[in-house]
Structure 1
Amino acid sequence: MPVNPNFLERLLLLRLNKGPTPILDLFGAASFEAVNLALEMGVFEELMEEDLSIGELVNRLNANKNGVQMLLNFLDAQGYVATDGDRYWNTRMTAKWLTTASETNMAPWLTFWNELVFPFWDDYLETAVREGNPPQTIYEWFNEEPKRWETAQQGFRAAASIIVEEVVDAINLPDGATRMLDVGGGHGLYTIELCRNYSNLSAIVFDYPEALEVARTEIGEAGVENRVEVAGGDYWNDDLGSDYDVAFVFNIIHAHDSEENSRLFKRVSEALKPGGQIAVLDQLEGSARTPVGKAGIGFVGLTYLTTLGAELHSYDDVREWLDTAEFENIRRSSIRRGGPGNTLVQATKSGG
């Protein structure tokens, strides 16, 4: 967690510029590394059910006492653990966001960034900024070692867990809907939750075969094998099926340019019944208002440039692609629980 300066520190650092404010970024970078190490070592899991003394924790971790003490001191200062001087426990923030006991466990999302995205940044950030593209996309890099896909999908699933209920609550299904398609659905969490809410609904999660392993696990654990299936393929060229009542296009459009997205929406339209529903979820340019939101959108934009040679699109862009694909009744909803800029856009295929 970023250092939260007190009133005097904010005055001196942020308003009066009397101190080296970039030092906060250094603390933040170190905090990210420390938290990921704590996750790898199992520190938060050991503290999940009970508070422990330094000696007890060291024995469970099989680690050096002084090293663990230094790590805990920093995690305490950053708000991840708390102590009374002798014993340590997870803070409420850590318990909610970084332990396997929580439904909103974000640890796989941090692991995704630590093991995949930031190493990719290290290699290609400068190239992407200077030339406008990385030499390969991060998805092509994943294909070089398929295990990376599993780490990525676990991360995507963790991020989705924060907003899935809000997103599903905002979905407007056509009356009597029974069939849905999740294009590029990966981990499948959104589809699974929607099918839980609508017992008459069955679904296909369509994505590259390498991206579907996490979805298979999620479907089994949710007990919806009889209504949710996976299909491996290329959504540009392979048959998507037909006569669907609803289709998800979630977190895809940022990876493609306007011409490609227009083509994708036409393909999805062809797979839907007249009157069928499309739902598009992504981070949209111009959708953030607060300082944290604007910083987050800037961060996401730089990430997409570095990893995909891509850029954020606006709501007006999405409307244009939907119009071209003959969708109507276009409307949007802001998704507030997750990262900045998450926007759900829904539309109806004409002719219904």
Structure 2
Amino acid sequence: MTDDRVPTVTRQDLLAMMSAVRKTGVLRAGVDLKVFDALADGPAVPKEVAAACGADPRAVHILLNALAAIGLLETEGDRFRLAPGADSILVSTHPDYYGHAVRLAASDYEWDAVKRLGDAVRNGGTVMEQNAETPSYTFWEDFAALGTLNTRPIAELVADAVLPQPSAPDEDAPRVLDVACGHGLYGYTLAARDPRAQVWSLDWPNVLAVTESNAERLGVRDRAHFVPGDMFEVPLGGPYDVVVVANVLHHFSTARATELLARAGSALRPGGKLVAIAISTDDTAPHRDPVPHLFSALMLAWTSEGQVHPVSAYEEMVVAAGFTRPTQHTLPHNPLRVLIAERR
């Protein structure tokens, strides 16, 4: 039997939580100033790092000590060097560079919302004038440009599930609609899988400018089409063989999310497939699976009625929107769940 009791809370636990913002600030500064790039060729003294970064030597020395304090650098006498692993994920020229994720996971957009979480709790939803539901919100440009580490493996999983083989020459070319597409990678992975597939990407106009550049980079621009506007209002076209609704259902109440799914279903041919992708909660105790619950708190601070819903609720939304009961697909160590259903 699993022991779901929470460990005893200590002052040290609280202090670690309260000081986490300092660690984030130190990491952000290190990435912004390209400190890790300055150390890519080997250990250096603060004055050398400061010269490479174009910053004040005394201040750089303080920052280097702070980066060492959180385990991103090591000291060697009066010199500093990259900690093991930092050379691959924090040096911007490395193919596995992950520092750009700071723009998403430690963005001012999220912090401005989360620091008013108490107000959102009192209000029952966001108190931010500019928030995740605001038309043309510029955060979504960063999201479209960067994606997340979870995106690519989930996109491949979706392609395996809905387009396991390219369409035959005598079949109609698959038509795919990617709603609130952002980076567009779910639809473009399907297009890469089937060289006859056509993809329509729907999002705000400012986001689609980035989406189009991704289509160009991935070699599918000639089969990419763009639908600018509000996903609840803009004509969807169709009929489509596949409609993808990813990373957006948690922005809304159950009723509003079901409305969006039903609207997506209206653009599908009978028997066409819905792919709904979302972070969800399950029966696991919150402290054993904290990611969806912390993300749900962000949604409370960042949207009017949003939250991370239980997976059972997403399943009921899909059925209520006119689809068969969905199959569920997951990957290890990935918080996203994929629900796939057919239009009834």
Q: Give the TM-score, by structure 2 length.
A: 0.84
2:163 matches 1:168: no
The separation in 2 between residues aligned to 1:298 and 1:221, in whole angstroms, is: 35
Q: Which residue of structure 2 lines up, in the alignment, with residue 43 of structure 1?
A: 35
The separation in 1 between residues aligned to 2:79 and 2:58, in whole angstroms, is: 15
Structure 1: 5+ residue stretches without partners: 1-13
Number of aligned positions between the proteins: 327
2:66 matches 1:74: yes
Q: Which residue of structure 1 lines up, in the alignment, with residue 147 of structure 2?
A: 158
SS at match of 2:108: helix
CA contact (8 A) 2:232 2:260 kept: yes
How far 1:232 moved relative to its partner?
A: 0.7
Q: Which residue of structure 1 lines up, in the alignment, with residue 111 of structure 2?
A: 118
CA contact (8 A) 1:82 1:90 kept: yes
C-alpha spacing 1:97/1:283, structure 2 compared with 1 (3 Å): farther
C-alpha spacing 1:210/1:297, structure 2 compared with 1 (3 Å): same
The separation in 1 between residues aligned to 2:237 and 2:208, in whole angstroms, is: 18
How far 1:207 moved relative to its partner?
A: 0.8
How far 1:292 moved relative to its partner?
A: 5.5
SS at match of 2:280: strand
Q: Which residue of structure 2 lines up, in the alignment, with residue 266 of structure 1?
A: 262
The separation in 2 between residues aligned to 1:27 and 1:292, in whole angstroms, is: 22
2:21 matches 1:29: yes
Q: Which residue of structure 1 lines up, in the alignment, with residue 170 of structure 2?
A: none
SS at match of 1:129: helix
SS at match of 2:107: helix
CA contact (8 A) 2:143 2:182 kept: no
The separation in 1 between residues aligned to 2:151 and 2:287, in whole angstroms, is: 21
Aligned amino acid, residue 111 of structure 1 = R
Aligned amino acid, residue 150 of structure 2 = I
C-alpha spacing 1:216/1:83, structure 2 compared with 1 (3 Å): farther
Q: Which residue of structure 1 lines up, in the alignment, with residue 189 of structure 2?
A: 193
2:307 matches 1:311: yes
Cα deviations across residues 185-239 of structure 1 (Å, max 9, x unaligned)?
0121222233223323221111111222221221222222112232212221211
Aligned amino acid, residue 302 of structure 1 = A
Cα deviations across residues 251-281 of structure 1 (Å, max 9, x unaligned)?
1111112222222112211211222111111
The separation in 2 between residues aligned to 1:17 and 1:302, in whole angstroms, is: 21
Aligned amino acid, residue 345 of structure 1 = L
The separation in 2 between residues aligned to 1:84 and 1:290, in whole angstroms, is: 41
2:244 matches 1:248: yes
Aligned amino acid, residue 211 of structure 2 = A
How far 1:180 moved relative to its partner?
A: 0.8
Q: Which residue of structure 2 lines up, in the alignment, with residue 8 of structure 1?
A: none
The separation in 2 between residues aligned to 1:15 and 1:287, in whole angstroms, is: 19
The separation in 1 between residues aligned to 2:200 and 2:84, in whole angstroms, is: 37
Aligned amino acid, residue 120 of structure 1 = A
CA contact (8 A) 1:104 1:158 kept: no
Aligned amino acid, residue 339 of structure 2 = V
Q: Which residue of structure 1 lines up, in the alignment, with residue 132 of structure 2?
A: 139
C-alpha spacing 1:246/1:53, structure 2 compared with 1 (3 Å): same
Match of 2:337 among 334, 343, 348: 343
The separation in 2 between residues aligned to 1:91 and 1:163, in whole angstroms, is: 27
RMSD, matched Cα:
2.7
The separation in 2 between residues aligned to 1:236 and 1:266, in whole angstroms, is: 10
Q: Which residue of structure 1 lines up, in the alignment, with residue 294 of structure 2?
A: 299
Moved more, 162-171 or 308-317: 162-171
SS at match of 1:327: coil
How far 1:140 moved relative to its partner?
A: 5.2
C-alpha spacing 1:45/1:134, structure 2 compared with 1 (3 Å): same
Structure 2: 5+ residue stretches without partners: 1-5, 168-172
Aligned amino acid, residue 284 of structure 1 = S
The separation in 2 between residues aligned to 1:130 and 1:243, in whole angstroms, is: 43
Structure with higher helix content = 1
How far 1:87 moved relative to its partner?
A: 4.2
CA contact (8 A) 1:283 1:312 kept: yes
Q: Give the TM-score, by structure 1 length.
A: 0.82
Q: Which residue of structure 1 lines up, in the alignment, with residue 328 of structure 2?
A: 332
Percent of aligned pairs sharing the same letter: 20
CA contact (8 A) 1:36 1:114 kept: no
How far 1:247 moved relative to its partner?
A: 1.3
CA contact (8 A) 1:106 1:158 kept: no
SS at match of 1:230: strand
